[in-house]
């Protein structure tokens, strides 16, 4: 595909002094609207070296380049040189590329030979998979897909919270107030109830906490009865989690959770001791991080049991040894920022030069429109309920529309779940947000269903036209304003995918496919696609097909399905 930006940069290189080609490329901007051309080059930085006012420099460059055949025209405005590309060349190059790459359009092979671990979801056993977990699950899945699309070898890990003192609490609560049948009927809800009860009771009877600690110690020591209960909680929980993952179409390469590292802890603490990092404090062992402006990290408790952070350190070392990653990504809420800063520092202090290959990709909080969520108080929206409700609502909407959709159940699933997924991904991940049914199920505006609907519309245009699409067309039929705007957004898609990866920000891709969908709908509205002139129709259908392909690739990158009829 022609690199138009590079063309512009090379032309500029000839006409400027003191700037390297890559500097020029970095300075080239995409103007806010098409009246200012396809690319703009600011001349302010040149004023010094060229000893001239920016607007005069711009005028000079534009004057000389306006003769060049490569560009339709070159203008200057307020210290900028504005480049207007040859529209036909842009459209042809873009559409040929999309047709050539198909489902791979937007991807690349920059990641070939590099290994990336993406750890995400990581819910806690015996606790609900609630709406708060959806962020890690959905954002992590999109990040995995984006890296995969860029040619990286990816490993998806679900670092299950299947270990820790809370299992002491759960076991104590179950023995005191639980019964087997209830757990079997409704495992997570029952276990959650027990957990809540434990915290209520422990306020009046703090000795319960000691009891829980002892039970957890027994679990760590491998006592049969405790281990058996724990295993059972884990199995029942996994069944519930799997239901949600199935609905979302998400799979993992590894479910090595916290418990997986329970026998790998001594080696880690020995390593830390060897480096002189461990200090005694009230019988416990800590790493003092005051020098780095952080509170101390508790590595081993008085009773010898290890902690969440110890298991994270052990997990990172294991992953480096086992996978030899180039990058190890953790998609975990911003509430755990300090935790990750602490242990990344510890890894560095242990002398591991790969510490900087570990990245914490954080995200903001989800709250309910009627207050915050807290597992301890039992106030929680179950993700499975959210998904089911979204599917039901979608089915109702499709029925109302009466669009002739044949497989309502299937489409309602694809669209309802897509709605929830897309709303997660279209926001900048670090922003806190409030979960509201109205927003999730609003099918108008900048939502997943809107993008899916646009994709289905493109499919339907192509289906009804019943012609074979190829790139042997007269491109001058698709250089009109809305066709050209749509093409430019399609052209930018590969760069958008790369940007999403660099920033670990699926919202960049999500926002872009909204733009593509809007531009497609504008084109559809402005132009007659099915026309008598066969040549014209063929060219327009090619653009429709390229838009369809871009929307499809974008949706699947985000982990969404794209029904052909809605
Ligand atoms: N299980 C934890 C939670 O639900 C998240 C685990 C994050 N991953 C990690 N490696 N610490 O809060």
Q: At what angle do helices 408-425 and 448-465 cross, to 10 degrees?
A: 130
- Kindly give, in sequence order, each residue whose CB lies less than 8 Å from that of residue 65, ignoring residues fewer than 6 positions away: 11, 15, 71, 74, 81, 83
Ligand 1 atom with minimal separation from the 332 CA: 7
Longest dimension (CA), the chain: 87
Say how far apart CA 457 and CA 566 lie, in whole Å: 8
* Token reading at 493: 């898609």
Whole-prediction pTM value?
0.92
CA atoms within 13 A on the CB side of 92: 12
* Token reading at 501: 């990866």
Task: Give the pLDDT of residue 379.
Answer: 62
**Number of other residues whose CB lies within 10 A of the CB of residue 176:** 13
Task: Give the pLDDT of residue 376.
Answer: 52
Residue to mutate (ligand 1; options 313, 332, 333, 346; most atoms within 8 A of CB): 332
Q: How far apart are the first and last CA of the chain?
A: 34
DSSP three-state, residue 374: strand
Provide the β-strand partners of residue 285.
280, 300
DSSP three-state, residue 313: helix
Is the CB of residue 124 less than 8 Å from the CB of residue 335? no
Is the CB of residue 527 less than 8 Å from the CB of residue 483? yes
Residue to mutate (ligand 1; options 159, 195, 308; most atoms within 8 A of CB): 159
Say how far apart CA 6 and CA 21 lie, in whole Å: 9
Say how far apart CA 434 and CA 370 lie, in whole Å: 9
Task: Give the pLDDT of residue 386.
Answer: 85
Of all protein residues, the one whose alpha carbon is nearest to atom 4 of ligand 1 is 123
- Is residue 133 part of the annotated active site? The answer reads yes
* Token reading at 201: 């009771």
Say how far apart CA 382 and CA 435 lie, in whole Å: 12
DSSP three-state, residue 332: coil
> Which residue from 361, 362, 344, 363 is spatially nearest to 353, judged by alpha carbons?
344
Say how far apart CA 321 and CA 300 lie, in whole Å: 23
Task: Give the pLDDT of residue 371.
Answer: 55
Q: What dihedral do alpha carbons 496, 499, 505, 510 form, nearest 10°?
A: 0
Residues with CB under 6 Å of ligand 1 are 119, 122-124, 159, 161, 312, 330, 332
101 alpha carbon – ligand 1 mean position (Å) = 38
Of all protein residues, the one whose alpha carbon is nearest to atom 6 of ligand 1 is 122
Say how far apart CA 322 and CA 316 lie, in whole Å: 10
* Token reading at 275: 């480096």
Residue to mutate (ligand 1; options 336, 366, 383; most atoms within 8 A of CB): 336
161 alpha carbon – ligand 1 mean position (Å) = 6
Of all protein residues, the one whose alpha carbon is nearest to atom 11 of ligand 1 is 312
Candidates 133, 301, 320, 327; catalytic one: 133
What is the DSSP-derived secondary structure letter of residue 352? -
318 alpha carbon – ligand 1 mean position (Å) = 17
Ligand 1 atom with minimal separation from the 308 CA: 11
Candidates 127, 327, 413, 538; catalytic one: 127
Distances (CA, A) of 317 to 163, 204, 267, 494: 18, 41, 10, 34
Candidates 130, 327, 455, 512; catalytic one: 130
Of all protein residues, the one whose alpha carbon is nearest to atom 1 of ligand 1 is 161
Q: How high is the mean pLDDT of the chain? A: 93
Supply the Cα-derived Rg of the chain in whole angstroms. Answer: 28
Q: Which residues of the chain have pLDDT under 50?
A: 372
> Which residue from 456, 457, 458, 481 is spatially nearest to 543, judged by alpha carbons?
458
What phi and psi, each to the nearest 5 degrees, are found at residue 67?
-80, -25
CA atoms within 13 A on the CB side of 205: 8
Q: What angle do CA 373, 377, 379 make, to 5 degrees?
A: 45
**Number of other residues whose CB lies within 10 A of the CB of residue 238:** 19
182 alpha carbon – ligand 1 mean position (Å) = 27
Is the CB of residue 88 less than 8 Å from the CB of residue 476? yes
**Number of other residues whose CB lies within 10 A of the CB of residue 453:** 20
Say how far apart CA 482 and CA 91 lie, in whole Å: 12
Ligand 1 atom with minimal separation from the 161 CA: 1
122 alpha carbon – ligand 1 mean position (Å) = 5
121 alpha carbon – ligand 1 mean position (Å) = 8
308 alpha carbon – ligand 1 mean position (Å) = 9
Q: Residue 258, class by beta-carbon neighbours within 10 Å (0-12 exposed, 13-18 middle, 19+ buried)? A: buried
Ligand 1 atom with minimal separation from the 315 CA: 10
Say how far apart CA 546 and CA 491 lie, in whole Å: 10
Tens of pLDDT along 341-398? Answer: 999 999 999 999 999 999 999 999 887 765 545 555 556 778 888 899 899 999 998 8
- Is residue 528 part of the annotated active site? The answer reads no
């Amino acid at each position: 595909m022609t690199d138009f930006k590079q063309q512009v940069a090379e032309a500029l290189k000839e006409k400027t002094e003191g700037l390297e080609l890559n500097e020029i490329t970095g300075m080239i901007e995409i103007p806010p609207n098409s009246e200012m051309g396809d690319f703009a080059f600011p001349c302010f930085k040149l004023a010094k070296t060229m000893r001239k006012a920016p607007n005069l420099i711009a005028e000079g460059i534009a004057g000389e380049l306006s003769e060049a055949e490569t560009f339709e025209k070159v203008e200057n405005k307020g210290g900028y040189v504005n480049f207007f590309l040859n529209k036909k060349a842009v459209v042809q190059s873009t559409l040929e590329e999309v047709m050539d790459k198909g489902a791979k359009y937007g991807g690349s092979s920059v990641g070939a030979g590099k290994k990336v671990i993406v750890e995400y979801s990581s819910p806690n056993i015996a606790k609900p998979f609630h709406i708060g977990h959806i962020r890690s699950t959905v954002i992590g899945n999109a990040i995995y897909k984006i890296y995969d699309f860029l040619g990286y070898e990816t490993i998806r890990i679900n670092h299950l919270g299947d270990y820790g003192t809370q299992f002491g609490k759960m076991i104590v609560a179950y023995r005191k107030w639980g019964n087997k049948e209830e757990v079997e009927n409704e495992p997570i809800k029952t276990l959650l109830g027990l957990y809540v009860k434990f915290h209520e009771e422990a306020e009046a009877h703090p000795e319960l906490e000691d009891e829980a600690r002892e039970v957890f110690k027994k679990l760590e020591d491998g006592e049969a009865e405790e281990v058996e209960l724990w295993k059972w909680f884990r199995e029942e929980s996994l069944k519930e989690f799997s239901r949600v993952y199935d609905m979302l179409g998400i799979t993992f390469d590894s479910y090595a959770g916290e418990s997986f590292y329970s026998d790998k802890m001594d080696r880690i603490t020995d390593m830390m001791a060897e480096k002189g990092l461990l200090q005694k404090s009230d019988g416990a062992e800590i790493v003092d991080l005051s020098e780095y402006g952080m509170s101390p990290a508790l590595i081993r408790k008085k009773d010898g049991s290890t902690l969440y952070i110890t298991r994270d350190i052990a997990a990172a070392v294991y992953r480096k040894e086992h996978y030899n990653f180039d990058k190890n990504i953790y998609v975990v809420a911003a509430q755990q920022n300090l935790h990750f800063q602490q242990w990344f520092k510890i890894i560095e202090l242990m002398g591991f030069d790969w510490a900087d290959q570990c990245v914490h990709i954080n995200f903001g909080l989800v709250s309910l429109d009627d207050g915050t969520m807290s597992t301890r108080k039992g106030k929680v929206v179950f993700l499975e309920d959210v998904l089911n409700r979204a599917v039901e609502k979608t089915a109702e909407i499709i029925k109302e529309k009466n669009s002739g959709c044949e497989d309502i159940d299937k489409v309602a699933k694809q669209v309802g779940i897509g709605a929830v997924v897309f709303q997660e991904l279209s926001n900048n991940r670090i922003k806190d947000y409030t979960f509201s049914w109205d927003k999730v199920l609003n099918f108008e505006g900048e939502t997943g269903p809107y993008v899916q609907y646009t994709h289905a519309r493109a499919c339907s245009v192509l289906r009804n036209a019943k012609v074979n699409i190829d790139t042997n067309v007269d491109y001058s039929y698709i250089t009109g304003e809305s066709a050209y705007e749509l093409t430019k957004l399609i052209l930018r898609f590969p760069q958008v995918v790369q940007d999403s990866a660099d920033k670990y920000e699926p919202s960049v891709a999500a926002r872009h496919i909204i733009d593509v969908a809007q531009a497609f709908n504008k084109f559809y509205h402005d132009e007659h696609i099915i026309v008598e002139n066969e040549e014209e129709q063929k060219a327009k259908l090619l653009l429709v097909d390229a838009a369809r392909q871009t929307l499809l690739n974008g949706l699947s990158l985000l982990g969404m399905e794209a029904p052909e009829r809605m």
